[in-house]
């Protein structure tokens, strides 16, 4: 019996140590038997050498999600900025009184919309007061003509050039005459000088023989006086009206021009055609 007890006492410490070791392995399976920690596997290789990488750790996945959210937010902000700019342009277009060609021509001459406003106020009956009612294409024609007049004759004041330009386009529409034809005649007759007069008695921008056309002018409410013929707009109206009557009466522009000139003249026809070509080239160069 004593021998048996001695054997039991001898094995108890060893059994206890083995039990504790087994328990630690169960509770901490990743821990090695030695002091060196086992490195975690970063991938699994199948029998066909295909590598399967483990899923991202939660922290890495969160970082990727944050990057995606930031990119989505940036794109949304960029789109919002683009839409805001587009809306601003639409609002500016609504607020603009005139076609952009008018503003472009004014800027080209060192002027602003305020100049037109001042001229409108100064001349209540001016066609400039109807400029904003003209279709965009006609406003572009006014812009082209105003800058063309100043290019041809820099001595013409800006105010006079714009009044003449608007009158040439407005009355061409009113009386059914091509505006470029009226501009070509005005350049040939006076170089756009409203104070021009000839030895034969023709006056103004269009060099109207006002005494000859007294009845026609009165019938349209145009006073056949020297002052009216020297007015940049009344003189233009008188000339365009007479030209329209000649076109209707003679059927062709060429015959109407001969009648306007007072005789058959190929040189006059060539001059008018050349002026029209110059206006076209000027318009293309300005880009309105």
- Domains along the chain with CATH numbers: 100-282 (1.10.530.10)
Q: What angle do CA 214, 275, 190 make, to 5 degrees?
A: 40
pLDDT at residue 111, rounded to an integer: 98
Task: Please give the residue that has the higher pLDDT: either 213 or 146.
Answer: 146
Tens digit of pLDDT for each residue in 110-132? 999 999 999 999 999 999 999 99
Residue 238's nearest CA partner among 206, 260, 261, 212 is: 206
Enter the tokens of residue 276: 């029209």
pLDDT by residue (tens digit) across 217-261? 999 888 889 999 999 999 999 999 999 999 999 999 999 999 999
Distance separating alpha carbons of residues 22 and 49, to the nearest angstrom? 35
Phi, psi of 3 (to 5 degrees): -65, -40
Q: What is the mean pLDDT of the chain?
A: 84
Q: What are phi and psi of 203, to 5 degrees?
A: -130, 155
Q: Tens digit of pLDDT for each residue in 6-54? A: 444 445 455 555 555 554 544 455 544 444 455 555 555 555 555 555 5
At residue 44, the 3 state secondary structure works out as: strand
Q: Where are the alpha helices (DSSP H) in the chain?
A: 2-27, 58-95, 100-108, 113-122, 136-152, 158-175, 179-190, 214-219, 226-230, 232-250, 253-261, 266-286
First vs last C-alpha separation in the chain: 124
Closest Cα partner for 267 from 279, 277, 258? 258
Could you give the percent of the chain with pLDDT greater than 70?
76
Residue from 182, 250, 241 nearest 214 by CA: 241
DSSP for residue 37: P
- Token readout for 84 is 């805001």
The percentage of residues in the chain with a pLDDT greater than 90, rounded to a whole number, is 59
Round to whole Å and give the CA distance between 151 and 158: 11
Please state, in angstroms and as integers, the Cα–Cα distance from residue 222 to each residue in 38, 161, 202, 228, 234, following that order: 109, 21, 16, 8, 7
């Amino acid at each position: 019996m004593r021998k048996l007890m001695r054997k039991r006492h001898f094995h108890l410490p060893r059994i206890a140590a083995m039990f504790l070791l087994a328990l630690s392995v169960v509770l901490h399976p990743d821990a090695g038997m030695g002091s060196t920690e086992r490195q975690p596997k970063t991938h699994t290789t199948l029998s066909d050498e295909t590598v399967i990488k483990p899923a991202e750790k939660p922290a890495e996945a969160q970082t990727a999600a944050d990057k995606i959210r930031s990119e989505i937010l940036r794109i949304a902000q960029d789109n919002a900025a683009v839409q805001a700019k587009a809306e601003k342009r639409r609002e500016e277009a609504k607020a603009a009184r005139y076609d952009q060609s008018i503003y472009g021509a004014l800027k080209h001459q060192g002027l602003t919309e305020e100049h037109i406003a001042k001229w409108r106020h100064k001349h209540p009956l001016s066609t400039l007061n109807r400029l904003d009612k003209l279709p965009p294409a006609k406003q572009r024609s006014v812009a082209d003509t105003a800058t063309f007049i100043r290019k041809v004759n820099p001595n013409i004041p800006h105010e006079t050039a714009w009044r003449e330009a608007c009158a040439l386009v407005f009355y061409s529409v009113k009386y059914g005459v091509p505006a470029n034809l009226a501009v070509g005649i005005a350049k040939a007759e006076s170089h756009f000088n409203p104070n021009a007069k000839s030895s034969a008695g023709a006056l103004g921008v269009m060099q109207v023989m006002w005494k000859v056309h007294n009845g026609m002018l009165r019938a349209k409410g145009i006073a056949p006086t020297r002052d009216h013929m020297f007015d940049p707009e009344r003189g233009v109206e008188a000339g365009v009206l007479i030209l329209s009557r000649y076109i209707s009466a003679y059927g062709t522009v060429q015959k109407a021009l001969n009648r306007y000139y007072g005789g058959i003249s190929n040189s006059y026809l060539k001059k008018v055609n050349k002026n029209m070509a110059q206006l076209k080239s000027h318009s293309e160069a300005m880009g309105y």
